Structure 1
Amino acid sequence: MSGKPTEYIAPNRKDIGQGVEDAGLAPGTVLGDGRYRLIGNVGQDVRGGAQLWRAKDSALGRDVALTILVGDRSDTQVNARARRALERAMHAASFHCVGAARVLDVISAKHGLAESDRVLGIVVAEWTHGTDLAELVKDNPVPPATAARLLQSLAVAVETAHHVGLVLGIDHPQRIRVSADGELRFAFPGVRPEASATDDVRGLGAVLFYLLTGRWPLAEAPEGVPTVQMQKDGVPVTPRSLRPIVPLELSNAAVKALAGPDSTINTGGIRTAAAMIPVLERAAATEDSGTNVMHQSPIGNPAPENDVWRERDPEPDQARKRKLSVGMAILGVATLLIVGWLGFQVAQMFAPGGSSSAQNSILPSGVTEDGEGGDDEEEPDSGPPVAAGPITPAGAAEWQPPGATLDHPNRAGDAIDGDASTAWTTSAYFESFDSDRAYKPGVGLMVSFSEATRLAQATVNSPSAGGVIEIRSSPTATPGSVDETTLLGTLSLSGGDTSLDFDEVVEGQHILLWVTGIVPVDGGYQTRINEVTFQTAE
């Protein structure tokens, strides 16, 4: 079995008719004038009268997510609800956010749905590769700090949508998937007509509760999803009461978001996604870099093997073994050469005239053997350092100022592993770092050597043309701020290899790659570093 994230497709459900019209849909059914062929049913939203399907877009040859509204076309009330849901979906078509799948098409019963008289409309969205939310927690709840990190992208999506007057409708677990990047994503747009911004905030609380406990706290949970009653003997049930390792602040945040303005639970309440985000950031910042649920991969690329998907022991890295063997062979040859050279020097010292020869070689600069001074010419300027050869770093770690949230710390080593097909990336941000609304000023990658080294050049291999990286020397591997480092030069990435020749020899053990420029990628901003290499100075 591959160690990469696998697609989880829910088995064809036999209970579709329970609460939602059957509509005669099954894998292989073709909708939308023959364009969309159903692949597998993911779930159903009883409240919205919707079935959730994965389908194949035959026109573009890609998978899509379908929210299919079903019901009796002769029922005017049902038809009116469906029309309102489709109108809201059309308004959301212009909304682009990393934490929400983009709406690609909206089809009403009057256009292209003659295949089934029970289908009232379809909302077509881009397919989110990864797994179902229920699949993530079916065995065990996730670590609290990881739950907070997973939820951040969804919370930002909700806040961004509310800022432009949209409601997502995230209060249903089967509408949410875990992307291959290790982030929660609203995967099935098509909000209920009566859904409000409050429902979205309660949805955030419900998802957080679900991640922390494995139980869904809202009413009308899907078939097979474990539930929990929010009140017991008049006292609110909290994630911490069900799982004591949950931090108090995170547990309270889930309950306060769930409360809502009309709730009988008097907790003070969280009314906006913006109020939830700082709590998630603080909780995620406590996460040990070695316990991440997922190693995040660049947008649009599969994630590598990680803790969620690994079902076997790690296999030896054959490429690393080969590199180690070659390195040992080179070291052996170099040792023999050095021993031979030392032997030759010792032999020369005891050879006839050896002492005289040694004496003649130790003369002050500018003095000849007869004791007279040489020419008065000054030695020419040595100029920039000359590269002598590559040097392999001892390690790499993501660095950010204290208190900032790390992006992809577990992937830092991919930037120095000698394999350009692996990479360390920043997270995908909604604003570039130079924007007035930027989330942070930059993200750092600290590269360290086994000892202080004389460096002449740094080269970054990256596909992120237009990105900007400051190369800085650092006195330690964990400086307190960027101001404690020294700027050596700035790289404007051109795509592929971009090199920086240092003006003078850089002597140090720690080099910081401070990413200050991220580039547009799939509706967000991100910079990727495939490989960083260094040349020593002569």
Structure 2
Amino acid sequence: MSGQIGERTARTGPHPVEDDATPRPHPSLDPTDATATADAPGTAGVPADEQPTAAVPAVPAQARPTERIPPVRETAGTTAGSPLTERYVLRQRIGSDPAAGAEFWRAEDTVLRRPVGVTLLRRLPADDRSDDPEGTARAGEMIVRALRSGCFEHSGSARLLDVLAPGTHGLPADVLGAAVAEWVPGRSLAETVAEGPVRAQRAAKAVETLSAAATEAHQQGLVLGCDHPQRVRITPDGRAMLAFLLPRPSVSAADDVRGLGGILYCLLTRRWPLSVSDAARAGLVAADRTPAGRLRPASQLRPGVPLELDTLCSGALGQGDGVSRVHTAAAMHRMLADVVAEDADQAFFPPVHDGAPAEPDDVWQDSDRLPDTRNDPRRRRNLRIGLGVLAVGVLIVLGYVAVQLGMLFGGGGTPPVVVPPAASAPVQQQVPAPAAPAASSGTGTAVPDVSATVFDPVGDADNAGTVGNAVDGDPSTVWTTSRYFQPFPALKPGIGVLASFDAAEPLTGLTIDSPTAGAVVEVRSAPSAEPTLAETTLLDTVTLSSGRTTVGLDPGRPTQHVLLWITNLGPDNQTRIDDIGFRRTAP
């Protein structure tokens, strides 16, 4: 590749700050580079002298003579928390596509402080029998195709923000390249159908947007690669979007059409009709097939599916015959648009029951399946009680109004005082309950040999390698949580430090040294070294101040494991703990 690649694409130097309002430049490619165009759609029919003639993998742009390029930093492995160049940090692995040698991650753009979706191209294990033992040529071809799609934008596809070519400064050693796209909020296909199939009309409306994106991409000679279930996410407003880019080099427009049919089939039946291994990897059930190897129609698995959607699924998946086959994304988009438009025209009529429950925001609810409560004795009794209370309230209000009117128009005189019957009963003196004994203030001797682990039931254990710094008695060594995008409990209910002793100790108290003022910590006792949160017992709740916070405990309840469960991270959605000290009764 020759020429200068745009700043938003492949780079070797530090990453510039990216502005969403700045249009993405179309990368300048060498006419002799044919790696990505040989298989790219839209080259058929182009004269031979206008097509690329050489195949070279994508390489980083050359630095300007005045630039000083620091040495490439090798990173061993890509896990949650690993940096990807000097700008991105990997946060959560979403899935993978082994056929493309790709992994899908939710990452953080540390410059613009926003989540992004990253598709990593892994280095393959060495294979002497392959022409491309480590996948370098494959990665170069995929990167070049990604660069050519830099100007493609559609509401059905995540917008490409950055392309990291092989050899980019700061890439981990096992990564050949990556594509960075805007993060698509919502749920995966597996999460969407976990509670049951989607209403037929909602499924058609969801896939319509993605089919429109595929249509426009095919018209520009591009492909989406939506035939993999983990590349697609369903947004909160019900649209199916391509969330992770960099499809495998062999993907074609016909594969996109099959992928659209597979997504519609999955939303209707909760089964993935294409690759069985992809279905297992995505947490979906593989579609059933007949003894002859054909897919079972969606209407057989879910009676009530409209005929037009059933036929559309079979045609897009290649199960139809003759004119029922769907060959292009444009044809599928037109048919889905007709289904959605027909549903909008019939909004005043109750829809045909298709086997799925109504959504809370649907105009027509399944009231015909609700139990008839008109002759329910309990409901009638509650109604009589409610009417009686209402009548008493009305009488009290009318009496008060009458007294006020009498005072206003009747001249002097004192209105009679009405004593309620309850006032004539003898008043019983309330004897206060004895106060509970105050917890110990934390006096005693220090507890030696304290070990600690990160307690994170739903995450990846923030900074687990440094959690021992919190109990080593040295405030200069610290442990911190990760910095979260949103406060708890948006992503998880909390995170904690589980401290363990050699034996059960009669603790009199503990101290927490932390500069994070405002963090809320629950002190809990745990029955084992690997408990669930439900198995722990709450002892006290404290809000940390900047410096040392003291917590008193009851020495009459010895415990061997103490959990400090952080439910509020404090400022910047991050908590730092310098040291935790435990004290017990003197032996």
Question: TM-score per shorter chain, which class?
Answer: 0.3 to 0.5
With normalisation by structure 1, the TM-score equals: 0.47
Q: Which has the higher strand share?
A: 1
Larger Rg: 2
Higher relative contact order at CA 8 Å, sep ≥6: structure 1 or structure 2?
1
